[in-house]
A and B are shown apart, each in its own frame.
Chain A
């Protein structure tokens, strides 16, 4: 039986002395401490249910996925994989999905490191993106076919101005470079994220293994095996999450570096920029945090999770969002000014190609969506404190990241001769056809579809973490009259 709202409210004060809209001092609904006694049952009910809104979202994303497959097959049938130019929008779609979904688990990892209590409702929302890592691996297979070889196949055939070996980070062409090492990186990232998800979800699966039925029960029993919540197990889990989190972050930065380098920078002859991989990672963090907040908002507003998500995750995350937005602008300027001031022919051509002429429109949209709109929204305290403000800024950043991926990846794919020494002209912009639109929307739909399916296996709340939070947080009043409500936080270590 799923716990009713009245049961939540009735028990809400037992552990947390406050609940939802009934508490929070000047900011009602800011802090919510769910009742640990009912959360396991309630989450099991939510995972097993199929609300109408969820079914519609699954259907819509499924249709987009099918359209994406149609677009992909049509593109492959029409153009094959020999030339990278027709695949520019596929590269952009992969880049966008990869950028969001690979960086999202960092939200759980990073805020666990900092031992932030507000991150507890956010953890599982971000960790569940690990499942989309499987989609990233599948989507990366055609990316390997698109990537031209490092050695110029026409070297020594009279193309005197072309390079024998194109400029990449794989200077001396180690075995398998770049394809195998790129693939290994993407797989390692997905496997690490899935392991973090498993390790984090083991206690929750163990709790539900005796009550869950059907496939979920079978899966929980196999995956949670010997977990009983003994002290040694909690210690191993804590240390494991810390270690794997650190490795995930270190691997993510590396894989983002090779993806941005191999599929954007090295595609445009003469584009040498040490800031771009950092900029790519930063865009990933900005959009990933924003996407987690969008999901949190949707589940709070329409998904029946208002008893579990207060406004504090939005408020706390908004400050980090604002910082990332400002850093985004700083890195963009640092990249731009170097090229603008350098004034070499290749630098001027790249600026014209990616910023002012060919993809000038996309750049303006990118700048507005990734910086101007989030900045102007997050500047205001009341917006940061609201449940809608940070997700709205996140939505804008997500659209901006899509513009960014389109600009650099489509630009990279359509820059002409990849073995040229430098970009000696300003290529025209490549506009999407119907199949490209299907591919881009299909990739986003596929990611959403995969994520939605994952929520039917694991709850969107890290139950053990939320329960742990209830041990260390409560609302108290400063005076015996019940005035001056404040939050008491405990730090166990």
Chain B
């Protein structure tokens, strides 16, 4: 059965943390609920799971690709069209460094952009469950649960101190 989203809105961070604990006790998997905030909160503020990311791999791969392209481009150009400048060797590192640096930076940047877009799942043209009160400092606890659990989760949110509970297909406030 497809999972449905339900959003609890909390005015206070401690109530949101309580809701997270209640979801955990009710057997909702940590990957099935998330805290939506209008600003980054400190790590573990809601007792949430640790989230890792692999963003650093992207610039590293990009830099390696760019470095290789830069070295190949400069060395092959100079081998194909040798120009002796002031008695320097055909393959001299200082002049090669200029182009190699630029190509390395360029591909590292492009790969990082791809990595950020991939890691944060942006952009997307589909609107998910959200409530504009989160922009006013409310904390949203978004749970994706089976349809049969919706009522139970809604009760959990209310008991934890939610000021409102929003479900899918319900007009946002």
Contacts and interface: CB of A to CB of B under 8 A. Distances in A.
B32 interface: no
A251 B113 CA distance: 15
Interface in A223-264: 223-240, 243-244, 247, 250-251, 254, 258
A222 B106 CA distance: 26
Contacts of A244: 109, 112-113, 116
B59 interface: yes
Contacts of B98: 169-170, 174, 181, 258
A154 B102 CA distance: 31
B25 interface: no
Given A171-B95, A184-B106, A211-B132, A243 B56 contact: yes
Interface residues of B, number: 59
Interface string B107-141: 01100110110011111111110101011110010
A37 B136 contact: yes
A220 to B, nearest CB: 11
A192 B51 CA distance: 26
B149 interface: no
B111 to A, nearest CB: 10
Interface string A29-41: 0000000111011
Interface in B9-63: 34-43, 48, 51, 53, 55-56, 59
Interface residues of A, number: 63
Nearest to A182: B102
Interface stretch (B73-81, B152-160, B161-169): B73-81
Nearest to A240: B116
A181 B98 CA distance: 10
B148 interface: no
Q: Which of B36, B56, B102 has the most CB of A within 10 A?
A: B102
A173 interface: yes
A200 to B, nearest CB: 12
B135 A207 contact: yes
B108 A247 contact: yes
Contact of A203 (B38, B85, B105, B116): B38
Given A40-B135, A236-B55, A251 B130 contact: no
Contacts of A165: 83, 85
Contacts of A216: none
Given A195-B113, A231-B34, A471 B41 contact: yes
A227 B124 CA distance: 8
Contacts of B121: 226, 233
Contacts of A169: 95, 98
B137 A173 contact: no
Interface in A26-70: 36-38, 40-41
Interface in B70-109: 73-74, 77-78, 81, 83, 85, 88, 90, 92, 94-95, 98-99, 101-102, 105-106, 108-109
B35 to A, nearest CB: 6
Interface of B: 34-43, 48, 51, 53, 55-56, 59, 73-74, 77-78, 81, 83, 85, 88, 90, 92, 94-95, 98-99, 101-102, 105-106, 108-109, 112-113, 115-116, 119-128, 130, 132, 134-137, 140, 142, 172
22 contacts: A36-B39, A40-B135, A165-B83, A170-B95, A172-B77, A173-B83, A174-B74, A174-B98, A181-B102, A195-B113, A208-B135, A210-B132, A211-B132, A228-B130, A229-B37, A236-B116, A251-B109, A464-B40, A467-B137, A468-B40, A471-B39, A492-B42
